[in-house]
Structure 1
Amino acid sequence: MATESMRMHPDIAELRAKYDAAAETSTAQAVDGLTFLTGLYLAISPWVVGFTGFTSLTGNNLIVGIALALLAVGFASAYGRTHGMAWVAPLIGVWTIIAPWVVSGDVATTRTIWSNVVAGAIAVLLGLGALSFGMNRMHRTH
């Protein structure tokens, strides 16, 4: 009962509305869309770039890419409810950058490294962008 009344509290509802308004800007929508595309690319990158021979890295990129794409969908559809997880997107980007060395150990191809480093850097930047939308909105309203 207390949880239900807390969820409907006017302050909580107002805060969610502010986050949702921040997510409705064209910049936020572009960041969410690009984050989604980055996640999709990351998921299919082993087949696009041609490093499916590294099975552990292939599995890693597939899982991490899907997770990033799902986060982007959450941000785009309900940022007021998912903004608390926005810190995960830049973390996924950092993981993507270091994964070729941590997961597969022996990275034999330059294209494997470039693919992950570039996709990871883009994910970090877009993730920081998604993280900043709620912060910027809150600073402007207080």
Structure 2
Amino acid sequence: MTHSTDIGSHPDIMQMRARYDSAAANPAAQLADGLTLLSGMYLALSPWIAGFSGRGPLAVNNLVTGIVVALLALGYSSAFGRTYGISWVAPVIGLWTIVAPWVIRGSMADARTIANNVIVGALILILGLATMRFGMMERGRPSGFRRPTS
């Protein structure tokens, strides 16, 4: 007897995907995904918006991590059932964004740069935790449970 490890052949795959699609259809989840997308876009552009593009390594860091956050948000909003497993990445990037001005050598962070990264990093952290919460709520819900409609 052989067992397949492919999730695509799991007997409950359609029901599982329906639950995660339900989580993604939640207006609060959509708001969190949209704000995460905007936060990622801002983080990517922040060296030029906040005026620290001359800070080489930190500017490159913000550009790359901002693009990653924006792509994660797009994944959450378009295919949450397939991306919920990596929803822990956004809060980690948020934490990294907060500490990056002190960790990255050669960034010569000033008060404006630090405030920018701390604020946007905290926002990404909070929104990432919210996204994780929506996935955990749907994962823990009994399969026959339906939300009451009013």
Partner of 2:12: 11
Counterpart position of 2:81: 80
Residue 20 of structure 1 is matched in structure 2 by 21
Deviation of 1:108 (Å): 4.0
Which residue matches 1:97? 98
Please state whether the residue corresponding to 1:74 is helix, strand or coil. helix
User: How many residue pairs were aligned?
Assistant: 141
Whole-angstrom distance in 2 between the partners of 1:73 and 1:48: 22
- What TM-score, normalized by structure 1, do the two folds share? 0.92
1:97 and 1:23 map into 2 onto residues whose CA distance is: 27
Task: Indicate if the aligned counterparts of 1:36 and 1:73 stay in contact, CA closer than 8 A.
Answer: yes
Shift of 1:19: 1.0
Say whether 1:35 aligns with 2:30: no
Rg larger in structure: 2
User: Match of 1:77, SS?
Assistant: helix
| 8 Å Cα contact 2:101-2:109 kept in structure 1 | no
- Alpha-carbon offset, residue 77 of structure 1: 0.1
Superposition RMSD in Å: 1.7
Instruction: Give the unaligned 5+ runs of structure 2.
Output: 144-150
Q: Distance in 1 between matches of 2:70 and 2:129?
A: 15
Q: Which contiguous aligned blocks of 4+ residues in structure 1 show a shift greater than 3 angstroms?
A: 104-108
Report % sequence identity: 53
Would you tell me which structure has more helix in proportion to its own residues? Answer: 1
Residue identity matched to 1:107? M
**2:116: which partner in 1?**
115
SS at match of 1:141: coil
Deviations 1:8-41 (A, max 9, x none): 4231221121111111110000000000000000
Contact 2:43–2:65 (CA under 8 A) maintained in structure 1: yes
Range with bigger deviation, 7-16 or 22-31: 7-16
- SS of 2:12's equivalent? helix
SS at match of 2:116: helix
Q: Using the TM superposition, give the Cα deviation of residue 134 of structure 1 relative to its aligned residue in structure 2, in angstroms.
A: 1.3
AA aligned opposite 2:36:
T
**Structure 1 segments unaligned to the other structure (5+ residues):** none
